[in-house]
Amino acid sequence: MRWKVLSVLGGLLALLLVGRLVAGSFNSSEAVDTTGASARRANSAADTPVRSASPAARATSSGPTPTTVVVQVAGPGVQVQSKPILLLNPSSVRPGSTIGVAGSGFDPGSTLDLFLKQREGDQADPATFVQADKGGNFGNVSLPLPAALPSGPFVVEARQRNSDKLASAAGVVAGGAPQVKLGTQVGKAGDVVQLSGEGFGANEEVAVYWNGVTGDPLAHLHSDGGGKIAEGSIQVPFGAVGNNGFIFVGATSQAPVTVPFLLLNLFPTVQLSSYALKPDTLLSFSGKDFGPGERVSVYLGSPDGPALAEVQADQSGAFAETGDLLIPFGLQGKQLLVFVGEQSGAPATAAFDLLPYTPNVQPSTYGGRPGTAITF
């Protein structure tokens, strides 16, 4: 009987231990909800928007890792050192133009000298001065550029008086197209035409051509430090009558400029030393308005035959008291001399009369005895 009671107590104790083990396993995991509350919480979670994950979390979940940009912003306690600045408007100009200058970062109310330089290290006198406002700024300062300032870079510098504060800005003088002005655009070969020019390179040689840049130049001109040709002259060469052109080409800039020129016809004239003479007499002549420095051929009657003589015109197209042409025997009456310029082809004529021979004889005496000698 006693053994049976012990057996029953042992079985109860074993059941109690098994129940405790099962309860512990349920506590270590999510408890089973038999009331339906778990389902209501799940539906509520589905309706609630999901918060965005951090960039690192999203990168881990899918796609490549984005590059992180770190921006450092100076806080209230950080001191940022300011530096004066200078601004030009515009920064690219033509010679003789005016630019606007503005600046900031200077001491309030300070006086600033503005310098215009071709290069940073050049020494120059102040072009003008300006006073900064209460904030150390200035603006709306008009600075004219000299017309002689060569094309290329230039520097504007603002220097604060009694201080080492300064600022500079660079600009560019754009090279303009060359321009040439002739004193006259109408003339004849041999005329000397005055001219002026601008827009060429500084101190460069300017070659002058006629109607084309092939062959040797007619002349060479020289520009000054500002690319100008203040005064110059050129002699009009031979050419076809009508529209022609001078071409000016800078040796450095290589920018050609063509100026039209209307070439007029030549109308030379000739004067004879005598307009009535006998054969076997020397005849000289003078002429003008032929081509400059050309030879002039002299024909008798027609230029189709051989030339009787040739004379040389000077650079003004003239010659004086030259020729010494011997009038041959056998000519009678009115004769015509034709003068033709070798290069210009311009003709001129001059007529003269040949005088007849009118011989007469006078004896030394018209009477005498036999044996008297008579001379004639």
pLDDT tens-digit profile of 131-172? 999 999 999 899 998 877 777 789 999 999 999 999 999 998
CA distances 97 to 35, 125, 146, 199, Å, are 93, 20, 8, 14
Q: How many angstroms separate the CA atoms of 152 and 175, rounded?
A: 7
Q: Is the pLDDT of residue 225 over 90?
A: no
Count each helix (H run) and each strand (E run) in the chain, helices first: 3, 24
Share of the chain above pLDDT 90, in %: 42
Each residue's pLDDT tens digit, 234-253: 999 988 899 999 999 988 87
Each residue's pLDDT tens digit, 168-222: 999 988 766 788 999 999 999 989 999 999 888 788 899 999 999 888 999 999 9
Asked if 168 and 157 touch (Cβ cutoff 8 Å), the reply is yes
Q: How many angstroms separate the CA atoms of 214 and 336, rounded?
A: 41
The whole-number average pLDDT for the span 87-95 is 84
Hey, what amino acid is at 184? T
What pTM value is reported for the model?
0.50
Q: Is the pLDDT of residue 232 over 70?
A: yes
- Give the DSSP H/E element, type plus range, for residue 24: helix 2-28
Tokens of 342: 């070798």
Each residue's pLDDT tens digit, 113-133: 999 998 888 888 999 999 999
- Give the DSSP H/E element, type plus range, for residue 100: strand 98-104
The whole-number average pLDDT for the span 98-121 is 92
Asked if 270 and 337 touch (Cβ cutoff 8 Å), the reply is yes
29-33, 91-95, 171-175 — which is least confidently predicted?
Answer: 29-33
Residue 121 DSSP class: T
Instruction: Report pLDDT for 85.
Output: 94
> Alpha-carbon torsion 207, 208, 209, 213, what sign?
positive
Q: Is the pLDDT of residue 96 over 70?
A: yes
Strand bridging mode 111-117 / 126-131: antiparallel
Q: How many angstroms separate the CA atoms of 308 and 301, rounded?
A: 11
Q: How many angstroms separate the CA atoms of 41 and 46, rounded?
A: 9
3 state SS for 300-327: ECCCCCCCCEEEECCCCCCEEEEEEEEC
Instruction: Report pLDDT for 34.
Output: 42
Q: Which of 285, 291, 282, 264 is nearest to 347 (CA)?
A: 291
Instruction: Report pLDDT for 184.
Output: 94
SS3 content of the chain, % helix, strand, coil (to 5): 10, 40, 50
Burial label, 171 (beta-carbon count in 10 A; 0-12, 13-18, 19+): buried
Instruction: Report pLDDT for 333.
Output: 87
The whole-number average pLDDT for the span 16-41 is 47
Q: Is the pLDDT of residue 369 over 80?
A: yes
CA distances 67 to 52, 56, 71, 295, Å, are 19, 11, 13, 89
Instruction: Report pLDDT for 265.
Output: 92
Which distant-in-sequence residues (6+ apart) come within 8 Å of 145 by Cβ? Answer: 93, 95, 96, 97, 98, 99, 116, 154, 173
Instruction: Report pLDDT for 111.
Output: 95
Instruction: Report pLDDT for 61.
Output: 44
Each residue's pLDDT tens digit, 288-328: 999 989 999 999 888 988 998 899 999 889 999 887 888 88
Q: Is the pLDDT of residue 101 over 90?
A: yes
Exposure on the CB side of residue 49, measured as CA atoms within 13 A = 3
First to last CA, the chain: 221
Strand bridging mode 166-173 / 92-93: parallel
Q: Which of 140, 144, 128 is nearest to 95 (CA)?
A: 144
Taking all residues of the chain, what is their mean pLDDT, rounded to a whole number? Answer: 80
Which distant-in-sequence residues (6+ apart) come within 8 Å of 221 by Cβ? Answer: 197, 205, 206, 208, 229, 232, 248
Instruction: Report pLDDT for 252.
Output: 80
Instruction: Report pLDDT for 27.
Output: 45
Strand bridging mode 111-117 / 152-160: antiparallel
Instruction: Report pLDDT for 256.
Output: 86
Q: Which of 343, 176, 344, 178 is nearest to 247 (CA)?
A: 178
Instruction: Report pLDDT for 13.
Output: 59
